[in-house]
Amino acid sequence: MPKTRINISLDQDLADFAKIFATENRTSVADIVTQYLLTLKRKIEGKEIEKILSEPAFHAAMEEAQAKLRNGTAEWHSYDDVFGD
């Protein structure tokens, strides 16, 4: 789906927080807003993603990934390493 640009105005402290949070989590402010709005849309439409989040193996994998990111032991790979040329 093609993307479109929208402009939003935030209080400076909230904008600063969003930028820092995005950087710390290796994402962008646009992705944070997109994920929030997508989650809100799914909730309103009754298409919540609770089933996958409540799956014990998925939950454990997410916690493990977050722990590796926090403690600096995550191994990063290039696109080509993961998907080949």
Q: Where are the domains of the chain?
A: 10-44, 49-75
Q: Is the pTM of this model over 0.85?
A: no
Q: State phi, psi for 26 to the nearest 5 degrees.
A: 50, 50
Structure tokens at 34: 């997109």
Give the whole-angstrom CA distance, residue 53 versus residue 80: 29
pLDDT in tens, 22-80: 898 888 999 888 888 888 888 788 766 665 666 788 778 888 888 888 888 888 777 78
Task: In whole angstroms, give the CA distance from residue 59 to residue 65.
Answer: 10
CA distances in angstroms from 41 to 17, 38, 72, listed in the order given: 24, 5, 34
The rounded distance, in Å, linking the Cα atoms of 78 and 85 is 11
